[in-house]
Structure 1
Amino acid sequence: MKDRLIMLQDFIDKNGKVTLHELENAFSGVSSMTLRRDLNRLEEENKVLRVPGGAISVGTVLRAKEADFSERIIYNAEEKLEIAAKAVSLFEPGECMFIDGGSTTTYFARALPDDDFYVLTNALVIAETVMRKDKPRVALLGGDLRRNNFITVGKTCLDFIDGINIQTAIMTATGFNKDSGTFTCGMQSESEIKRKVMEKADRTVMLIDSSKVGRKTPYTFAGLSDINCMVVDKNFPAALRAQIEESGVKVF
Protein backbone atom coordinates (compact mmCIF):
# COMPACT_ATOMS: atom_id res chain seq x y z
CA MET A 1 0.00 0.00 0.00
CA LYS A 2 2.84 2.37 0.89
CA ASP A 3 4.42 1.92 -2.54
CA ARG A 4 1.06 2.51 -4.23
CA LEU A 5 0.53 5.73 -2.28
CA ILE A 6 3.99 6.94 -3.29
CA MET A 7 3.31 6.11 -6.94
CA LEU A 8 -0.10 7.77 -6.75
CA GLN A 9 1.32 10.94 -5.24
CA ASP A 10 4.12 11.02 -7.83
CA PHE A 11 1.55 10.69 -10.62
CA ILE A 12 -0.54 13.56 -9.23
CA ASP A 13 2.54 15.74 -8.63
CA LYS A 14 3.71 15.14 -12.19
CA ASN A 15 0.36 15.98 -13.76
CA GLY A 16 -0.73 18.73 -11.37
CA LYS A 17 -4.43 17.89 -11.57
CA VAL A 18 -5.96 14.49 -12.31
CA THR A 19 -9.43 12.99 -12.57
CA LEU A 20 -10.48 9.72 -10.99
CA HIS A 21 -10.97 8.33 -14.51
CA GLU A 22 -7.34 9.14 -15.36
CA LEU A 23 -6.20 7.42 -12.18
CA GLU A 24 -8.27 4.34 -13.01
CA ASN A 25 -6.53 4.13 -16.40
CA ALA A 26 -3.07 4.70 -14.92
CA PHE A 27 -3.61 2.21 -12.06
CA SER A 28 -5.71 -0.38 -13.89
CA GLY A 29 -5.27 -3.04 -11.22
CA VAL A 30 -6.68 -0.84 -8.46
CA SER A 31 -10.41 -0.43 -7.85
CA SER A 32 -12.13 2.95 -7.86
CA MET A 33 -13.04 2.54 -4.20
CA THR A 34 -9.42 1.90 -3.25
CA LEU A 35 -8.25 4.90 -5.26
CA ARG A 36 -10.77 7.10 -3.47
CA ARG A 37 -9.53 5.84 -0.11
CA ASP A 38 -5.94 6.49 -1.18
CA LEU A 39 -6.81 10.04 -2.23
CA ASN A 40 -8.49 10.64 1.11
CA ARG A 41 -5.39 9.35 2.90
CA LEU A 42 -3.09 11.58 0.84
CA GLU A 43 -5.30 14.58 1.60
CA GLU A 44 -5.23 13.78 5.33
CA GLU A 45 -1.43 13.85 5.06
CA ASN A 46 -1.64 17.26 3.26
CA LYS A 47 -0.03 15.80 0.14
CA VAL A 48 -2.92 16.43 -2.28
CA LEU A 49 -6.12 18.45 -2.33
CA ARG A 50 -9.33 16.59 -3.17
CA VAL A 51 -11.64 18.23 -5.71
CA PRO A 52 -14.88 16.93 -7.26
CA GLY A 53 -13.97 14.00 -9.51
CA GLY A 54 -10.26 13.94 -8.74
CA ALA A 55 -7.35 15.65 -6.98
CA ILE A 56 -4.80 18.46 -7.31
CA SER A 57 -1.19 18.36 -6.16
CA VAL A 58 -0.30 20.61 -3.23
CA GLY A 59 2.48 22.15 -5.33
CA THR A 60 -0.03 23.24 -7.95
CA VAL A 61 -2.23 24.82 -5.26
CA LEU A 62 0.72 26.63 -3.69
CA ARG A 63 1.90 28.00 -7.03
CA ALA A 64 -1.60 29.27 -7.76
CA LYS A 65 -1.82 30.94 -4.34
CA GLU A 66 1.64 32.47 -4.74
CA ALA A 67 0.61 33.88 -8.11
CA ASP A 68 -2.59 35.27 -6.58
CA PHE A 69 -0.65 36.87 -3.71
CA SER A 70 1.94 38.27 -6.12
CA GLU A 71 -0.87 39.86 -8.11
CA ARG A 72 -2.38 41.40 -4.97
CA ILE A 73 0.93 42.65 -3.63
CA ILE A 74 1.75 44.36 -6.95
CA TYR A 75 -1.63 46.13 -7.00
CA ASN A 76 -1.24 49.67 -5.59
CA ALA A 77 2.42 48.87 -4.88
CA GLU A 78 3.52 52.52 -4.78
CA GLU A 79 0.84 53.37 -2.22
CA LYS A 80 1.70 50.35 -0.07
CA LEU A 81 5.39 51.22 -0.13
CA GLU A 82 4.53 54.75 0.99
CA ILE A 83 2.41 53.43 3.86
CA ALA A 84 5.12 50.98 4.95
CA ALA A 85 7.81 53.67 4.99
CA LYS A 86 5.67 55.92 7.19
CA ALA A 87 4.55 53.12 9.47
CA VAL A 88 8.00 51.77 10.39
CA SER A 89 8.99 55.21 11.67
CA LEU A 90 6.42 54.79 14.46
CA PHE A 91 8.35 51.96 16.14
CA GLU A 92 11.46 51.66 18.28
CA PRO A 93 13.70 48.59 18.70
CA GLY A 94 12.64 46.30 21.50
CA GLU A 95 8.94 46.56 20.77
CA CYS A 96 6.69 43.50 20.74
CA MET A 97 4.31 43.74 17.80
CA PHE A 98 1.68 41.66 16.07
CA ILE A 99 1.70 41.97 12.26
CA ASP A 100 -1.59 41.12 10.59
CA GLY A 101 -1.65 39.14 7.34
CA GLY A 102 -2.10 41.09 4.10
CA SER A 103 -0.29 42.64 1.16
CA THR A 104 0.10 46.07 2.81
CA THR A 105 1.42 44.56 6.04
CA THR A 106 3.84 42.46 3.98
CA TYR A 107 5.37 45.69 2.69
CA PHE A 108 5.61 46.82 6.32
CA ALA A 109 7.37 43.56 7.27
CA ARG A 110 9.84 44.06 4.43
CA ALA A 111 10.53 47.65 5.51
CA LEU A 112 10.95 46.79 9.20
CA PRO A 113 14.56 47.53 10.21
CA ASP A 114 16.82 44.59 11.00
CA ASP A 115 16.77 45.31 14.72
CA ASP A 116 15.65 43.92 18.06
CA PHE A 117 11.91 43.53 17.49
CA TYR A 118 9.69 40.70 18.69
CA VAL A 119 7.21 39.90 15.92
CA LEU A 120 4.06 37.87 16.43
CA THR A 121 1.96 36.87 13.44
CA ASN A 122 -0.55 34.31 12.21
CA ALA A 123 0.56 34.79 8.59
CA LEU A 124 3.17 32.50 7.06
CA VAL A 125 4.20 35.14 4.51
CA ILE A 126 4.85 37.71 7.25
CA ALA A 127 6.84 35.22 9.35
CA GLU A 128 8.95 34.18 6.36
CA THR A 129 9.58 37.82 5.39
CA VAL A 130 10.79 38.85 8.85
CA MET A 131 12.85 35.67 9.29
CA ARG A 132 15.03 36.78 6.38
CA LYS A 133 16.41 39.45 8.70
CA ASP A 134 19.03 38.62 11.32
CA LYS A 135 17.86 40.30 14.54
CA PRO A 136 14.06 40.25 14.93
CA ARG A 137 12.56 37.31 16.80
CA VAL A 138 9.46 35.75 15.27
CA ALA A 139 6.61 33.75 16.78
CA LEU A 140 4.15 32.14 14.37
CA LEU A 141 0.76 31.51 15.94
CA GLY A 142 -0.54 27.97 15.63
CA GLY A 143 -4.00 26.98 14.47
CA ASP A 144 -5.87 25.84 11.39
CA LEU A 145 -4.01 26.98 8.28
CA ARG A 146 -6.24 28.50 5.60
CA ARG A 147 -5.30 27.41 2.08
CA ASN A 148 -6.43 30.63 0.40
CA ASN A 149 -4.05 32.98 2.22
CA PHE A 150 -1.75 30.87 4.47
CA ILE A 151 -3.11 32.45 7.67
CA THR A 152 -3.79 30.48 10.85
CA VAL A 153 -7.22 30.76 12.46
CA GLY A 154 -9.40 28.86 14.92
CA LYS A 155 -9.48 28.05 18.64
CA THR A 156 -5.80 27.13 18.92
CA CYS A 157 -4.84 30.49 17.44
CA LEU A 158 -7.28 32.37 19.70
CA ASP A 159 -5.98 30.53 22.78
CA PHE A 160 -2.40 31.41 21.79
CA ILE A 161 -3.34 35.10 21.61
CA ASP A 162 -4.91 34.90 25.09
CA GLY A 163 -1.53 33.94 26.50
CA ILE A 164 0.64 36.65 24.95
CA ASN A 165 1.29 40.35 25.56
CA ILE A 166 1.19 42.70 22.57
CA GLN A 167 2.43 46.27 22.67
CA THR A 168 1.26 47.22 19.18
CA ALA A 169 -1.00 45.51 16.66
CA ILE A 170 -0.23 46.44 13.05
CA MET A 171 -3.49 45.66 11.32
CA THR A 172 -5.04 45.94 7.88
CA ALA A 173 -8.48 45.42 6.37
CA THR A 174 -10.05 44.31 3.12
CA GLY A 175 -12.48 47.20 3.23
CA PHE A 176 -13.14 50.50 5.02
CA ASN A 177 -16.72 51.75 5.26
CA LYS A 178 -16.36 55.53 5.14
CA ASP A 179 -19.94 56.11 6.32
CA SER A 180 -19.80 53.96 9.46
CA GLY A 181 -16.04 54.21 10.00
CA THR A 182 -15.70 50.45 10.23
CA PHE A 183 -13.06 48.00 9.02
CA THR A 184 -14.09 44.74 7.36
CA CYS A 185 -12.67 41.47 6.06
CA GLY A 186 -13.93 38.56 4.02
CA MET A 187 -13.88 35.65 6.49
CA GLN A 188 -15.52 35.31 9.90
CA SER A 189 -12.63 33.21 11.23
CA GLU A 190 -10.18 35.98 10.34
CA SER A 191 -12.38 38.66 11.91
CA GLU A 192 -12.31 36.71 15.20
CA ILE A 193 -8.50 36.68 15.21
CA LYS A 194 -8.28 40.39 14.34
CA ARG A 195 -10.68 41.36 17.15
CA LYS A 196 -8.86 39.24 19.72
CA VAL A 197 -5.46 40.68 18.76
CA MET A 198 -6.75 44.25 19.02
CA GLU A 199 -8.30 43.53 22.43
CA LYS A 200 -4.92 42.29 23.70
CA ALA A 201 -2.80 45.08 22.19
CA ASP A 202 -1.87 48.26 24.06
CA ARG A 203 -2.32 50.20 20.82
CA THR A 204 -3.47 49.48 17.28
CA VAL A 205 -2.05 50.97 14.08
CA MET A 206 -4.25 50.43 11.03
CA LEU A 207 -2.59 50.38 7.58
CA ILE A 208 -5.12 51.23 4.86
CA ASP A 209 -4.38 52.07 1.24
CA SER A 210 -6.85 54.25 -0.65
CA SER A 211 -8.22 51.35 -2.72
CA LYS A 212 -9.86 49.93 0.44
CA VAL A 213 -12.11 52.98 0.92
CA GLY A 214 -15.70 52.09 0.09
CA ARG A 215 -14.93 48.42 -0.52
CA LYS A 216 -17.59 46.21 1.06
CA THR A 217 -16.72 42.85 2.59
CA PRO A 218 -18.95 40.80 4.91
CA TYR A 219 -17.41 40.86 8.39
CA THR A 220 -16.82 43.96 10.51
CA PHE A 221 -14.03 43.50 13.04
CA ALA A 222 -13.32 47.05 14.26
CA GLY A 223 -14.31 50.69 14.17
CA LEU A 224 -12.40 53.94 14.48
CA SER A 225 -12.91 53.88 18.25
CA ASP A 226 -10.90 50.63 18.39
CA ILE A 227 -7.70 52.02 16.87
CA ASN A 228 -5.12 54.61 17.86
CA CYS A 229 -3.93 55.75 14.47
CA MET A 230 -4.15 55.10 10.73
CA VAL A 231 -1.40 55.16 8.15
CA VAL A 232 -2.64 55.98 4.65
CA ASP A 233 -1.26 56.93 1.24
CA LYS A 234 -1.29 60.25 -0.59
CA ASN A 235 -4.39 59.30 -2.59
CA PHE A 236 -6.52 58.82 0.52
CA PRO A 237 -9.50 61.26 0.32
CA ALA A 238 -8.57 64.49 2.12
CA ALA A 239 -12.10 65.14 3.40
CA LEU A 240 -12.31 61.62 4.85
CA ARG A 241 -8.92 62.02 6.46
CA ALA A 242 -10.08 65.22 8.18
CA GLN A 243 -13.27 63.48 9.31
CA ILE A 244 -11.27 60.62 10.83
CA GLU A 245 -8.94 63.00 12.67
CA GLU A 246 -11.94 64.88 14.05
CA SER A 247 -13.03 61.59 15.64
CA GLY A 248 -9.78 61.54 17.61
CA VAL A 249 -7.77 59.12 15.47
CA LYS A 250 -4.37 60.36 14.30
CA VAL A 251 -3.78 59.86 10.57
CA PHE A 252 -0.26 59.66 9.15
Structure 2
Amino acid sequence: MKMFVTERRNKIMELLHEKQRLTVKELSTQIGVSEATLRTDLNKMEQNGLLTRTHGGAMLNQQSPVDHDTSFSVREKQNRAEKSLIAKEAFHFIEEKQCILLDASSTALELARYLNEKMIRLTVVTSGIQTALELKDNPNVTVILIGGVVTQGSSTIEGTLGIELLEKLHIDILFTSASGFSVENGLTDFNLYEVELKKRMVHKAQKIIAVIDHSKLGVTSSAPFATTNQVDVLITNSTIDSDTEQILNSHHIQAISAS
Protein backbone atom coordinates (compact mmCIF):
# COMPACT_ATOMS: atom_id res chain seq x y z
CA MET A 1 0.00 0.00 0.00
CA LYS A 2 1.42 3.37 -1.03
CA MET A 3 2.13 5.66 1.92
CA PHE A 4 1.68 9.43 1.93
CA VAL A 5 4.87 11.38 2.63
CA THR A 6 3.65 12.39 6.09
CA GLU A 7 2.70 8.80 6.95
CA ARG A 8 6.11 7.59 5.82
CA ARG A 9 7.89 10.22 7.88
CA ASN A 10 5.72 9.46 10.90
CA LYS A 11 6.75 5.82 10.50
CA ILE A 12 10.44 6.77 10.29
CA MET A 13 10.11 8.71 13.57
CA GLU A 14 8.25 5.84 15.25
CA LEU A 15 11.01 3.42 14.29
CA LEU A 16 13.70 5.86 15.43
CA HIS A 17 12.02 6.29 18.79
CA GLU A 18 12.08 2.50 19.19
CA LYS A 19 15.69 1.99 18.07
CA GLN A 20 17.31 5.46 18.53
CA ARG A 21 19.49 4.88 15.44
CA LEU A 22 18.78 3.20 12.07
CA THR A 23 20.45 2.76 8.70
CA VAL A 24 18.77 3.66 5.41
CA LYS A 25 18.92 -0.04 4.49
CA GLU A 26 17.04 -1.03 7.68
CA LEU A 27 14.43 1.66 7.08
CA SER A 28 13.98 0.56 3.47
CA THR A 29 13.32 -3.01 4.63
CA GLN A 30 10.90 -1.94 7.37
CA ILE A 31 8.92 0.64 5.38
CA GLY A 32 9.19 -0.88 1.90
CA VAL A 33 10.34 2.16 -0.08
CA SER A 34 13.58 2.82 -1.95
CA GLU A 35 16.75 3.97 -0.20
CA ALA A 36 16.86 7.04 -2.49
CA THR A 37 13.36 8.10 -1.33
CA LEU A 38 14.35 7.60 2.30
CA ARG A 39 17.53 9.66 1.91
CA THR A 40 15.39 12.53 0.62
CA ASP A 41 13.03 12.09 3.60
CA LEU A 42 15.87 11.99 6.11
CA ASN A 43 17.56 15.08 4.68
CA LYS A 44 14.29 17.03 4.81
CA MET A 45 13.52 15.78 8.33
CA GLU A 46 16.99 16.83 9.50
CA GLN A 47 16.35 20.34 8.10
CA ASN A 48 13.13 20.40 10.13
CA GLY A 49 15.03 19.47 13.31
CA LEU A 50 13.36 16.08 13.68
CA LEU A 51 16.51 13.92 13.54
CA THR A 52 20.26 13.90 12.95
CA ARG A 53 21.72 12.33 9.81
CA THR A 54 24.52 9.83 10.34
CA HIS A 55 26.77 8.04 7.86
CA GLY A 56 24.37 5.66 6.12
CA GLY A 57 21.31 6.48 8.22
CA ALA A 58 19.90 8.66 10.98
CA MET A 59 19.64 8.92 14.74
CA LEU A 60 17.10 10.49 17.03
CA ASN A 61 17.82 14.13 17.73
CA GLN A 62 17.57 14.18 21.52
CA GLN A 63 17.57 17.96 21.57
CA SER A 64 14.82 18.19 19.01
CA PRO A 65 12.18 20.75 20.00
CA VAL A 66 9.58 18.51 18.40
CA ASP A 67 10.46 15.32 20.23
CA HIS A 68 6.92 13.98 20.17
CA ASP A 69 7.55 10.83 22.12
CA THR A 70 8.38 12.45 25.42
CA SER A 71 5.61 11.38 27.76
CA PHE A 72 2.92 13.95 28.48
CA SER A 73 3.92 14.24 32.15
CA VAL A 74 7.47 15.18 31.15
CA ARG A 75 6.34 17.67 28.49
CA GLU A 76 3.89 19.15 30.93
CA LYS A 77 6.70 20.00 33.38
CA GLN A 78 8.92 21.50 30.67
CA ASN A 79 8.79 25.31 30.57
CA ARG A 80 5.92 25.27 33.08
CA ALA A 81 6.51 28.88 34.21
CA GLU A 82 6.60 30.12 30.61
CA LYS A 83 3.41 28.22 29.76
CA SER A 84 1.76 29.78 32.79
CA LEU A 85 2.58 33.26 31.43
CA ILE A 86 1.17 32.29 28.03
CA ALA A 87 -2.02 31.01 29.74
CA LYS A 88 -2.51 34.33 31.57
CA GLU A 89 -2.25 36.24 28.29
CA ALA A 90 -4.62 33.80 26.59
CA PHE A 91 -7.22 34.27 29.33
CA HIS A 92 -7.70 37.94 28.30
CA PHE A 93 -9.42 36.76 25.12
CA ILE A 94 -12.04 34.68 26.93
CA GLU A 95 -15.47 36.11 27.74
CA GLU A 96 -18.25 34.88 30.00
CA LYS A 97 -20.52 32.15 28.53
CA GLN A 98 -18.30 31.45 25.53
CA CYS A 99 -17.68 27.98 24.16
CA ILE A 100 -13.93 27.49 23.83
CA LEU A 101 -11.94 24.61 22.39
CA LEU A 102 -8.68 23.47 24.00
CA ASP A 103 -6.38 21.01 22.26
CA ALA A 104 -4.48 18.34 24.20
CA SER A 105 -1.26 20.34 24.56
CA SER A 106 0.46 20.97 27.89
CA THR A 107 0.06 24.74 27.25
CA ALA A 108 -3.73 24.34 26.91
CA LEU A 109 -3.69 22.33 30.15
CA GLU A 110 -1.97 25.27 31.81
CA LEU A 111 -4.78 27.52 30.55
CA ALA A 112 -7.34 25.09 32.03
CA ARG A 113 -5.58 25.33 35.40
CA TYR A 114 -5.72 29.12 35.20
CA LEU A 115 -9.42 29.02 34.27
CA ASN A 116 -10.07 26.90 37.32
CA GLU A 117 -8.98 29.78 39.55
CA LYS A 118 -11.40 32.23 37.91
CA MET A 119 -15.11 32.71 38.44
CA ILE A 120 -16.18 32.52 34.82
CA ARG A 121 -19.00 30.51 33.22
CA LEU A 122 -17.83 28.65 30.15
CA THR A 123 -18.29 25.59 28.00
CA VAL A 124 -14.91 23.97 27.37
CA VAL A 125 -14.58 21.42 24.58
CA THR A 126 -11.29 19.53 24.59
CA SER A 127 -9.36 16.63 23.05
CA GLY A 128 -7.14 16.50 26.15
CA ILE A 129 -8.03 13.95 28.83
CA GLN A 130 -5.95 15.77 31.48
CA THR A 131 -7.57 19.06 30.55
CA ALA A 132 -11.06 17.57 30.96
CA LEU A 133 -10.09 16.10 34.35
CA GLU A 134 -8.65 19.43 35.46
CA LEU A 135 -11.97 21.22 34.89
CA LYS A 136 -14.49 18.47 35.68
CA ASP A 137 -15.21 19.59 39.27
CA ASN A 138 -15.63 23.28 38.42
CA PRO A 139 -19.36 24.11 38.78
CA ASN A 140 -19.03 27.08 36.39
CA VAL A 141 -17.57 25.08 33.54
CA THR A 142 -19.38 22.58 31.31
CA VAL A 143 -16.76 20.18 29.97
CA ILE A 144 -17.21 18.30 26.70
CA LEU A 145 -14.55 15.70 25.91
CA ILE A 146 -14.15 14.90 22.21
CA GLY A 147 -14.29 11.16 21.67
CA GLY A 148 -11.72 9.13 19.78
CA VAL A 149 -8.69 6.92 20.14
CA VAL A 150 -6.46 7.57 23.15
CA THR A 151 -2.87 8.09 22.04
CA GLN A 152 -0.45 5.70 23.71
CA GLY A 153 1.88 7.34 26.23
CA SER A 154 -0.08 10.57 26.11
CA SER A 155 -3.39 12.04 27.19
CA THR A 156 -4.48 12.99 23.72
CA ILE A 157 -7.54 11.95 21.74
CA GLU A 158 -6.76 11.41 18.08
CA GLY A 159 -8.61 10.30 14.98
CA THR A 160 -11.81 11.51 13.36
CA LEU A 161 -14.41 9.88 15.61
CA GLY A 162 -14.99 13.16 17.45
CA ILE A 163 -15.63 15.21 14.34
CA GLU A 164 -19.37 14.47 14.35
CA LEU A 165 -19.64 15.99 17.83
CA LEU A 166 -17.60 19.04 16.80
CA GLU A 167 -19.95 19.71 13.89
CA LYS A 168 -22.85 20.17 16.33
CA LEU A 169 -21.12 22.85 18.39
CA HIS A 170 -20.55 26.58 17.97
CA ILE A 171 -16.93 27.28 18.96
CA ASP A 172 -15.93 30.86 19.76
CA ILE A 173 -12.18 30.33 20.20
CA LEU A 174 -9.72 27.51 19.64
CA PHE A 175 -6.56 27.59 21.76
CA THR A 176 -4.01 25.32 20.16
CA SER A 177 -0.33 24.59 20.41
CA ALA A 178 1.77 22.76 17.81
CA SER A 179 5.09 21.03 17.29
CA GLY A 180 6.07 24.00 15.18
CA PHE A 181 4.99 27.30 13.67
CA SER A 182 6.52 29.02 10.67
CA VAL A 183 5.16 31.73 8.42
CA GLU A 184 5.69 29.51 5.35
CA ASN A 185 4.00 26.39 6.72
CA GLY A 186 1.70 27.67 9.47
CA LEU A 187 0.93 25.39 12.44
CA THR A 188 2.33 21.89 12.02
CA ASP A 189 2.30 18.79 14.17
CA PHE A 190 3.90 15.41 14.17
CA ASN A 191 1.03 12.97 14.55
CA LEU A 192 -0.89 12.63 11.29
CA TYR A 193 -4.00 11.25 13.01
CA GLU A 194 -4.10 13.99 15.63
CA VAL A 195 -3.68 16.52 12.83
CA GLU A 196 -6.89 15.36 11.11
CA LEU A 197 -8.86 16.24 14.24
CA LYS A 198 -7.02 19.55 14.64
CA LYS A 199 -7.88 20.54 11.06
CA ARG A 200 -11.57 20.19 11.91
CA MET A 201 -11.07 22.17 15.12
CA VAL A 202 -9.53 25.01 13.10
CA HIS A 203 -12.40 24.86 10.60
CA LYS A 204 -15.05 25.06 13.35
CA ALA A 205 -13.65 27.91 15.50
CA GLN A 206 -14.49 31.58 14.95
CA LYS A 207 -11.05 32.61 16.23
CA ILE A 208 -7.76 30.69 16.28
CA ILE A 209 -5.26 31.51 19.02
CA ALA A 210 -1.89 29.74 18.79
CA VAL A 211 -0.19 29.32 22.17
CA ILE A 212 3.39 28.47 21.27
CA ASP A 213 6.48 28.46 23.46
CA HIS A 214 9.59 29.98 21.87
CA SER A 215 11.23 26.61 21.07
CA LYS A 216 8.52 25.92 18.46
CA LEU A 217 8.86 29.18 16.51
CA GLY A 218 10.44 28.81 13.09
CA VAL A 219 10.13 25.02 13.34
CA THR A 220 8.23 22.89 10.84
CA SER A 221 6.96 19.44 11.72
CA SER A 222 5.66 16.88 9.25
CA ALA A 223 1.94 17.65 8.96
CA PRO A 224 0.28 21.10 8.68
CA PHE A 225 -3.12 21.65 10.31
CA ALA A 226 -3.59 25.43 10.01
CA THR A 227 -2.21 27.91 7.49
CA THR A 228 -0.68 31.16 8.70
CA ASN A 229 -3.68 33.03 7.30
CA GLN A 230 -6.03 31.02 9.52
CA VAL A 231 -4.28 32.10 12.75
CA ASP A 232 -5.69 35.24 14.40
CA VAL A 233 -3.45 35.57 17.46
CA LEU A 234 -0.05 34.11 18.35
CA ILE A 235 1.00 34.13 22.00
CA THR A 236 4.54 33.09 22.87
CA ASN A 237 6.79 33.39 25.91
CA SER A 238 9.71 35.22 24.34
CA THR A 239 10.11 38.67 22.85
CA ILE A 240 9.15 38.64 19.19
CA ASP A 241 11.66 40.57 17.09
CA SER A 242 10.29 43.50 15.10
CA ASP A 243 10.91 41.83 11.71
CA THR A 244 8.91 38.74 12.69
CA GLU A 245 6.19 40.89 14.23
CA GLN A 246 5.95 42.88 10.99
CA ILE A 247 5.61 39.68 8.96
CA LEU A 248 2.94 38.35 11.34
CA ASN A 249 1.07 41.65 11.19
CA SER A 250 1.12 41.50 7.39
CA HIS A 251 -0.74 38.19 7.75
CA HIS A 252 -3.19 39.91 10.15
CA ILE A 253 -1.87 37.97 13.13
CA GLN A 254 -1.79 39.73 16.49
CA ALA A 255 1.54 38.78 18.09
CA ILE A 256 1.81 38.82 21.89
CA SER A 257 4.95 38.23 23.96
CA ALA A 258 4.04 36.82 27.38
CA SER A 259 7.44 37.57 28.88
Shift, 1:213, TM fit:
1.3
Q: 1:150 to 1:77 in 2, by over 3 A?
A: closer
Instruction: Determine the structure 1 residue equivalent to 2:237.
Output: 233
Pick aligned residue for 1:108 from 101, 107, 111: 111
Structure-2-length-normalised TM-score: 0.67
Question: Which of 1 and 2 has higher RCO (CA within 8 Å, sep 6+)?
Answer: 2
Q: Is the Cα–Cα contact under 8 Å of residues 172 and 206 in structure 1 kept in the other structure?
A: yes
1:1-252 alignment, distance < 5 Å: 68-112=71-115, 113-178=118-183, 180-252=184-256
Q: 1:104 to 1:238 in 2, by over 3 A?
A: farther
Shift, 1:238, TM fit:
4.2
Alignment partners' CA distance in 1, 2:206 and 2:81: 30
Q: Is the Cα–Cα contact under 8 Å of residues 100 and 124 in structure 2 kept in the other structure?
A: yes
Q: Give the root-mean-square deviation of aligned CA atoms.
A: 1.7
Alignment partners' CA distance in 1, 2:185 and 2:148: 30
Q: Is the Cα–Cα contact under 8 Å of residues 114 and 133 in structure 1 kept in the other structure?
A: no
**Structure with higher helix content:** 1
Consecutive unaligned residues of structure 2, counting only runs of 5 or more, are 1-69
Instruction: Determine the structure 1 residue equivalent to 2:12.
Output: none
Percent pairwise identity: 23
SS of aligned partner of 1:155: coil
Alignment partners' CA distance in 2, 1:110 and 1:89: 15
Shift, 1:191, TM fit:
0.8
Q: Is the Cα–Cα contact under 8 Å of residues 119 and 139 in structure 1 kept in the other structure?
A: yes
Return 70-79 or 98-107, whichever deviates more.
70-79
- Structure number with greater Rg is 1
Shift, 1:195, TM fit:
0.8
Q: Is the Cα–Cα contact under 8 Å of residues 209 and 236 in structure 1 kept in the other structure?
A: no
| Cα offsets for 1:178-223 (capped at 9, x unmatched) | 4x15111111111111110111111111111111013332111112
Q: Is the Cα–Cα contact under 8 Å of residues 151 and 158 in structure 2 kept in the other structure?
A: yes
Structure-1-length-normalised TM-score: 0.69
Letter in 2 for 1:135: N
Q: 4+ residue stretches of structure 1 with deviation over 4 A?
A: none
Q: Is the Cα–Cα contact under 8 Å of residues 143 and 154 in structure 1 kept in the other structure?
A: yes
Alignment partners' CA distance in 1, 2:223 and 2:87: 25
What is the number of residues matched between the two proteins?
A: 185
